[in-house]
Structure 1
């Protein structure tokens, strides 16, 4: 369950020039500081920084990914299971087992004996059923409703056992749980309460309980005496603050104003390494991409998609957007993944791109498109425009959209090109959600029978060989179709002072609070 530690060291100048496969330009000789050695030390207060403040303490509304408030969710509600972020192996926490005997159509969840919520009431199979139905309820408006909708129904067998019936076989459904708020079980009493009660007195079975939440300031937590995994948690208290501003977040840790921060900005991770802080990044596949709207002109034409994919130099984008610190996705899967194949994503080829642009123009359809970006995306927009300005028969406009518009824009596909992400540790279920023609999360709108078939085979495959073959086909088809252009790996990272031990990530860069400790 231990986090892979990336040293964030420099790549050579020769490798940087050779191809966009090099994955980023970190400072020469820089090595991340080591964590403290020895046994965990009990006691003390952990001062934690997350990237976003939750809109509610309802677990269904706290996203379980690095860019949101995952440590808070883990602290209040605990975890049913986690994965080894390097191998993908499942490790059970509050769950004792989760298995299927029919190829993933039904699962049996077995809970540990004696689990109790922080108020002393028992955590049972009925508690899990209630929590999952809460996520699935459209009225809850959980961001994890796509994963919850994979569940058709569930039946309580006994106090510790829940039988789960899926809509379609998903042998790796455990990933849909541990990567989302399905991993967090609140008391049925809490879930039945109004929003104000959920936010002021949430009851979970995690390592900590809420002491006080001062909005836009601090969330104070104290040890849960009923937590199942004694002697954890090691820290007596947590003080969690949200700092969305990247520079302020980094400086807070550097100056000693916080012990630990979740981080998602490559520049901050690079700076942390160079200043003697701990810094680590979870190795996820996919990344941040330019999503090409395949449902209308001009990108319903595969030649237009290929032209843009081969026209852009990702090294130059990395320099403009991330000051050269980003990791460029040369392949769909990270090299640490068992599904990695040497199937390169689109490579820059000026002549090939110009030929395609000329061909489109000769047919009366020169490539013209608008790039829709958030206010923080100005450097990306300018970089794309600059690169495309050296080509004939292409015109690029940039439109700034508010963050509040994003859901509407994506849902209605009101864009030619927009920036979005498809990131995953295990490919299931997020790769299917990102590219299957029937998925509401398929923002490119790609509709390809061969791709659908490969994604379906990967979802229901009964063994590793079948999964590997299916995802090799997915990789090949995505390279052929270019529905999106991945320009940066996501940066699901952490930075911490050298006194912080026990840093463990799982899933989508989520962090376990119960293992953290501070050397005195």
Structure 2
């Protein structure tokens, strides 16, 4: 595959493709077609999603409210959510009526009255406590371990009230609840009876699931937010390849799709007459370096890779020049943007100098593999191509259907991932704090640890901005993560689909969607 990319790179360097390329695109918002009438109940919607869910049990799921993984849509459809968070970081109560604290250490969660699971059992404070204890049980591999380990006590006050006592103050704790799968509450009774397919209290009920083919869900008549959901049935089809997914939309195999990989696809869909709703997502997609082993335990190699990857060339190679490049973690114009946190531009001469030093110390060439999921293989191969210009590097690409197990086990050198920020908390703390169980890079910097604690414990915006500026500057200096570009999150759909709204990084509020009459 390297030959194909090398030929394209040669054309880019000669100017043949750069002249024809477009400037990097910006990811704005487009509300799509305005609804011409009140929501209508009924109908079946087929949604083409970019990934399959890891499982239906919340302890097997990843980030709760996300469009970039399959867990978000399946989880919200079946379980709903205690709290919701939009792309700007604004929190909204959902199945929770309130979430309050007087000291940032003891939080009180109050549930809405009358909540019930689809098996008829009560959705009460005891059910929430039981679910959260499962995430923290001995031997658990739950994605929510950082959150449950930060709890020192869970006390049921009454049927609707749960008291959460944290081990340390965290003024931003509701963001962790919105981010992690503790936001999804399953019936404790069904968790015991059918742990691989427990029942929830969300807008839909699972009818059928054939992994990697489709998931069919039907309307939950007991959903707390009547008259929602409006649809009688939804069918979720996972199609990881962006172009195949778009072709399925065009051919009528679905009425709506989500993509967060291909920057050009939303514009193509608009030109073809589809409605498009974009979601601007903070943070960046990029690569993490495993500092627990060679060669990336050497900061010179990490910095050399960053300096050796010209983002403008990579953009042309992989995204046709349409990507919104991430030269900082926080985008310009957002609360936590700081101009002093810019990543340095590509510098091949300096990259080669650092590699030469590392080769001399190593006694031979620097060898590593780039771990990637199949849908982002082209990005990894683009980076491989750019780094092939440096002497003393031997780079391979390892594309897998899923990479989570390898990353958690530390069995990787350099891996593609993303840190997507509606707010820096909890993403940066969990990813970069040296004591976090989700710091899979082995990154450690005491100054960063202290700043991350300050950022999560403070409620003062100025203090938080200063703390996260410290964090971002250290990430540039230490280079545990190489950011590439923002995420091009977009929903594309036919004019028959109405009520399309998104939360988080572009997750569709499926309970709000409805269909016009044929």
**What's the TM-score once normalised by structure 2's chain length?**
0.86
The 3-state SS of whatever aligns with 2:154 is strand
1:264 and 2:260 correspond: yes
Q: Distance in 2 between matches of 1:288 and 1:315?
A: 15
Q: Distance in 2 between matches of 1:37 and 1:401?
A: 42
* Structural mapping, 1:163-312, within 5 Å: 163-195=163-195, 198-199=196-197, 202-266=198-262, 267-312=264-309
Asked if the contact 2:59–2:135 (Cα under 8 Å) also holds between the matched residues in 1, the reply is yes
Asked if the contact 2:280–2:505 (Cα under 8 Å) also holds between the matched residues in 1, the reply is no
Taking a change above 3 Å as real, the CA distance of residues 489 and 396 of structure 1, as seen in their structure-2 partners, is farther
Cα deviation 1:417-476 (Å, max 9, x = unaligned)? 332332232211111111111223223322111122211211211321211111111111
| Equivalent in the alignment of 2:33 | 35
Taking a change above 3 Å as real, the CA distance of residues 306 and 366 of structure 1, as seen in their structure-2 partners, is farther
Taking a change above 3 Å as real, the CA distance of residues 496 and 140 of structure 1, as seen in their structure-2 partners, is farther
Residue of structure 2 aligned with 1:73, choices 67, 72, 75: 75
Q: CA RMSD in A?
A: 3.0
Taking a change above 3 Å as real, the CA distance of residues 327 and 183 of structure 1, as seen in their structure-2 partners, is same
Taking a change above 3 Å as real, the CA distance of residues 313 and 515 of structure 1, as seen in their structure-2 partners, is same
| Equivalent in the alignment of 1:100 | 101
1:495 and 2:492 correspond: yes
Q: Distance in 2 between matches of 1:268 and 1:98?
A: 39
Q: Distance in 2 between matches of 1:509 and 1:137?
A: 31
Q: Distance in 2 between matches of 1:501 and 1:477?
A: 45
| Equivalent in the alignment of 2:5 | none
Taking a change above 3 Å as real, the CA distance of residues 168 and 102 of structure 1, as seen in their structure-2 partners, is same
Q: Distance in 2 between matches of 1:285 and 1:297?
A: 31
- Displacement after TM superposition at 1:485 (Å): 1.0
| Equivalent in the alignment of 2:53 | 54
Asked if the contact 1:81–1:94 (Cα under 8 Å) also holds between the matched residues in 2, the reply is yes
1:449 and 2:446 correspond: yes
| Equivalent in the alignment of 1:11 | none
| Equivalent in the alignment of 2:331 | 334
Q: Can you give the 5+ residue segments of structure 2 that lack an aligned partner in the other structure?
A: 1-16
Asked if the contact 1:51–1:69 (Cα under 8 Å) also holds between the matched residues in 2, the reply is no
| Equivalent in the alignment of 1:418 | 415
Q: Distance in 1 between matches of 2:29 and 2:184?
A: 35
Cα deviation 1:259-303 (Å, max 9, x = unaligned)? 222322224334323322233343333322222233444433333
| Equivalent in the alignment of 1:89 | 90
Asked if the contact 1:74–1:511 (Cα under 8 Å) also holds between the matched residues in 2, the reply is no
Q: Distance in 1 between matches of 2:243 and 2:123?
A: 41
Asked if the contact 2:31–2:277 (Cα under 8 Å) also holds between the matched residues in 1, the reply is no
The 3-state SS of whatever aligns with 1:130 is helix
1:386 and 2:382 correspond: no
Q: Distance in 2 between matches of 1:464 and 1:60?
A: 33
Q: Distance in 2 between matches of 1:289 and 1:227?
A: 38
Q: Distance in 1 between matches of 2:161 and 2:293?
A: 48
| Equivalent in the alignment of 1:347 | 345
Asked if the contact 1:254–1:277 (Cα under 8 Å) also holds between the matched residues in 2, the reply is no
| Equivalent in the alignment of 2:159 | 159
Asked if the contact 1:120–1:226 (Cα under 8 Å) also holds between the matched residues in 2, the reply is no
| Equivalent in the alignment of 1:4 | none
Q: Distance in 2 between matches of 1:500 and 1:434?
A: 37
Asked if the contact 2:35–2:499 (Cα under 8 Å) also holds between the matched residues in 1, the reply is no
Q: Distance in 1 between matches of 2:174 and 2:373?
A: 36
Q: Distance in 1 between matches of 2:34 and 2:96?
A: 30
* Structural mapping, 1:319-330, within 5 Å: 319-330=316-327
Q: Which moved more, 1:157-166 or 1:378-387?
A: 378-387
Q: Which moved more, 1:416-425 or 1:166-175?
A: 416-425
- Displacement after TM superposition at 1:171 (Å): 1.5
| Equivalent in the alignment of 1:437 | 434
- The count of corresponding residues between Structure 1 and Structure 2 is 493
The 3-state SS of whatever aligns with 2:283 is strand
Taking a change above 3 Å as real, the CA distance of residues 258 and 399 of structure 1, as seen in their structure-2 partners, is closer
Taking a change above 3 Å as real, the CA distance of residues 348 and 154 of structure 1, as seen in their structure-2 partners, is same
1:371 and 2:372 correspond: no
Q: Which moved more, 1:107-116 or 1:379-388?
A: 379-388
- Displacement after TM superposition at 1:409 (Å): 3.7
- Displacement after TM superposition at 1:44 (Å): 1.9
Cα deviation 1:312-337 (Å, max 9, x = unaligned)? 10121222233333332121013353
Q: Distance in 2 between matches of 1:42 and 1:479?
A: 51
Taking a change above 3 Å as real, the CA distance of residues 36 and 255 of structure 1, as seen in their structure-2 partners, is farther
